[in-house]
């Protein structure tokens, strides 16, 4: 092929031809971005992530066909880590591209400063139409969005049914299952409310599967006659690790309340929903009370109830995500819309005996990330580069061909999406959890996670942990004092201090919280 023909063909294929340009200016059309965002969704509760070391059978029971399909059509990232595993802080980091100590949102007691630079504002300046629909949980009104509707019940967690939606027009109580309502609102915005002359960024943001895991009406019966396997470290005795592990209040066996366990119905259900709830749980609850369980039997009953409800809620959300993906296809938007799926952090599904998040251990440190970029991401591809939630802002700006400001700490993953092989990529993820005392009583700590080793410093008690993730993926054996690891400890300690300086984390190492018990 001669060069001129080759060049013309390339121009046509890359979009200067028929489909990819706007008629007015013949400029290549910029892609739309649909950011599907969820809350506390652990990677081991997504089928596409495959079996997990301590519970290899679990993934066969997980039912996420639509997220799995997204992974089949795009790129799945296996090493994505948040910098502070709690709702508000992770969200603030995603918006700003900066760790908590720079964006000011150290814990859930803080009100996000919406006057600061965020990627949606930069997208707006760059000609994008922006919207956030669903859970927000940053307490100040969203800024940088042409349209927003957020879950606005007190505390901004939202409720699983009949949520209050807040918007610039005020508050509105809406009847139905919240995952369905958020999807309806998001599709409606795409269909009839946005400015079609602009590319869009839409954050379609679920509250699912945050505590207290109430399924949609059609998912109550899932796993009815199935036993979910217990992770191998469900009865972790926390030996060799920091004293913080014995101090926490997030054990399934002892710290779940009656609402978590569906022994009482949520107060926000209407009559019809209450009947569905009672049909689902009353008989089992009655049998449970008659059985008068104790010890391990009681702990495992709670585990079954919890994990089944968690997975049922995930499936309710996945079904709604499927409806959204179908709308993209039917409307013709799919071909020029990049779909990104992620969650603000991971969660424990009985690993170490826990629910909740906060720790720098793998299950809550990890975020799912799946990206489908039509004609760019190879189908069914995976990438294991170390990515952080600081990278999301840079990535969204890069996808929109907007300059990434120098003060954003993260890096665009667009090169990874294009060829899958990182160049000059980071070698460690940085982490700092602050909230103490707080819900679940997890001591503050900071650390780094590399490909193989993880170093954590609990500074309130000055205890250190080193994990060899290759030999001990479940983080059961602290090697910090093991003489075989002396050189690794030394190298990782130096690397941690370098990274703390590189990330400009000069926050005084003391507990910060307004929490009152």
Q: Is beta strand 129-134 parallel, antiparallel or unpaired with respect to 200-205?
A: parallel
Report in angstroms how near the CB of residue 481 gets to Ca ion at its nearest: 33
Distance CA 109, CA 105 (A): 8
Nearer residue to Ca ion within complex by CB, 358 or 426? 358
Distance CA 419, CA 377 (A): 8
Residues contacting 434, CB < 8 A, separation 6+: 84, 100, 106, 107, 444, 507, 511, 512, 513
Distance CA 515, CA 517 (A): 7
Q: Which residue is nearest to Ca ion (CB)?
A: 87
Q: Strand order in 429-433's β-sheet? A: 429-433, 445-449, 453-458, 463-468
Number of separate helices (H) and strands (E) present in the chain: 15, 16
Residue 468 CB-half CA count within 13 A? 14
Nearer residue to Ca ion within complex by CB, 367 or 466? 367
168: helix, strand or coil: coil
Q: How far apart are the first and last CA of the chain?
A: 74
Peptide bond preceding 209 in cis form (omega within 30 of 0)? yes
One DSSP character per residue, 137-159 reads -SSSPP-S-SEEEEE-STTS---
Crossing angle of helices 178-188/295-331, nearest 10°? 20
441: helix, strand or coil: coil
Nearer residue to Ca ion within complex by CB, 356 or 499? 356
Distance CA 496, CA 490 (A): 10
DSSP code, position 353 = G
Report in angstroms how near the CB of residue 151 gets to Ca ion at its nearest: 13
Nearer residue to Ca ion within complex by CB, 39 or 474? 39
Report in angstroms how near the CB of residue 463 gets to Ca ion at its nearest: 26
Nearer residue to Ca ion within complex by CB, 399 or 435? 435
Nearer residue to Ca ion within complex by CB, 212 or 344? 344
Nearer residue to Ca ion within complex by CB, 207 or 352? 207
Report in angstroms how near the CB of residue 156 gets to Ca ion at its nearest: 12
Crossing angle of helices 87-96/391-399, nearest 10°? 40
Report in angstroms how near the CB of residue 260 gets to Ca ion at its nearest: 16
Nearer residue to Ca ion within complex by CB, 40 or 499? 40
Task: Give ∠ CA 195-197-203 in degrees, rounded to 5.
Answer: 50
Report in angstroms how near the CB of residue 251 gets to Ca ion at its nearest: 19
Residue 75 CB-half CA count within 13 A? 24
Report in angstroms how near the CB of residue 435 gets to Ca ion at its nearest: 13
Distance, C-alpha 489 to centroid of its chain: 30
* Nearest CA-CA partner of 348 in 262, 252, 224, 478: 252
Nearer residue to Ca ion within complex by CB, 37 or 220? 37
Report in angstroms how near the CB of residue 97 gets to Ca ion at its nearest: 19
Sign of the Cα torsion 92, 83, 40, 378 reads positive
* Nearest CA-CA partner of 81 in 311, 317, 351, 359: 359
| C-beta of residue 459 within 8 angstroms of C-beta of residue 416 | no
Nearer residue to Ca ion within complex by CB, 156 or 409? 156
Report in angstroms how near the CB of residue 357 gets to Ca ion at its nearest: 7
Nearer residue to Ca ion within complex by CB, 288 or 439? 439
Report in angstroms how near the CB of residue 190 gets to Ca ion at its nearest: 25
Report in angstroms how near the CB of residue 346 gets to Ca ion at its nearest: 9
Residues contacting 286, CB < 8 A, separation 6+: none
Report in angstroms how near the CB of residue 210 gets to Ca ion at its nearest: 6
Distance CA 124, CA 106 (A): 27
Nearer residue to Ca ion within complex by CB, 242 or 389? 389
Interface contacts to Ca ion, rule CB under 5 A: 39-40, 87, 344
Residues contacting 414, CB < 8 A, separation 6+: 395, 398, 399
H runs (alpha helix) in 261-294: 271-291
Nearer residue to Ca ion within complex by CB, 108 or 395? 108
Report in angstroms how near the CB of residue 170 gets to Ca ion at its nearest: 26
């Amino acid at each position: 092929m001669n060069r001129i023909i080759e060049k013309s063909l390339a121009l046509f294929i890359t979009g200067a031809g028929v489909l990819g340009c706007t008629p007015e200016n013949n400029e290549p059309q910029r892609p739309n971005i649909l950011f599907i965002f969820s809350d506390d969704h652990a990677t081991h509760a997504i089928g596409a992530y495959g079996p997990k070391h301590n519970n290899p059978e679990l993934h066969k029971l997980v039912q996420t066909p639509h997220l799995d399909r997204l992974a089949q059509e795009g790129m799945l990232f296996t090493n994505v880590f948040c910098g502070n595993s709690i709702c508000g802080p992770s969200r603030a980091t995603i918006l700003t591209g900066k760790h908590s100590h720079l964006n000011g949102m150290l814990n859930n007691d803080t009100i996000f400063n919406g006057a600061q630079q965020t990627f949606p504002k930069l997208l707006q300046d760059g000609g994008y139409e922006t919207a956030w629909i669903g859970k927000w949980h940053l307490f100040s009104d969203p800024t940088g969005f042409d349209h927003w509707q957020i879950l606005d019940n007190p505390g901004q967690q939202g409720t699983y049914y009949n949520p209050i939606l807040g918007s610039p027009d005020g508050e509105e109580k809406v009847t139905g299952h919240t995952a369905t309502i958020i999807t309806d609102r998001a599709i409606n915005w795409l269909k009839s409310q946005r400015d079609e002359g602009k590319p869009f960024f839409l954050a379609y943001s679920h509250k699912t599967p945050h505590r207290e895991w109430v399924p949609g009406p059609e998912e109550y019966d899932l796993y009815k006659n199935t036993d979910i396997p217990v992770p191998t470290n469900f009865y972790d005795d926390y030996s060799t690790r920091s004293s913080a592990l014995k101090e926490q209040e997030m054990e399934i066996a002892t710290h779940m309340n009656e609402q978590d366990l569906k022994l009482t119905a949520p107060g926000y259900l209407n009559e019809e929903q209450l009947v569905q709830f009672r049909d689902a749980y009353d008989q089992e609850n009655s049998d449970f009370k008659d059985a008068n369980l104790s010890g391990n039997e009681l702990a495992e009953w709670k585990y079954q109830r919890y994990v089944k409800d968690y997975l049922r809620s995930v499936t309710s959300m996945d079904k709604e995500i499927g409806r959204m993906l179908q709308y993209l296809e039917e409307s013709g938007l799919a071909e020029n819309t990049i779909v990104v799926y992620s969650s603000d952090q991971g969660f424990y599904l009985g690993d170490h005996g826990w629910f909740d998040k906060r720790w720098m251990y793998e299950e809550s440190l990890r975020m799912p990330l799946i990206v489908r970029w039509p004609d760019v991401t190879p189908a069914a591809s995976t990438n294991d580069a170390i990515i952080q939630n600081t990278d999301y802002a840079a990535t969204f700006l890069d996808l929109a061909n907007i300059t990434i400001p120098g003060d954003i700490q993260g890096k665009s993953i667009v090169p990874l999406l294009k060829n899958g092989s990182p160049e000059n990529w980071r070698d460690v993820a940085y982490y700092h959890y602050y909230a103490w005392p707080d819900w679940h009583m997890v001591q503050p700590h900071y650390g780094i996670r590399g490909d193989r080793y993880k170093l954590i410093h609990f500074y309130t008690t000055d205890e250190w942990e080193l994990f060899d993730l290759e030999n001990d993926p479940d983080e059961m054996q602290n090697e910090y004092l093991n003489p075989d690891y002396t050189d690794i400890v030394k190298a990782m300690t130096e690397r941690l201090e370098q990274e703390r300086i590189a990330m400009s984390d000069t926050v005084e190492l003391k507990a910060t919280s307004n929490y009152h018990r």
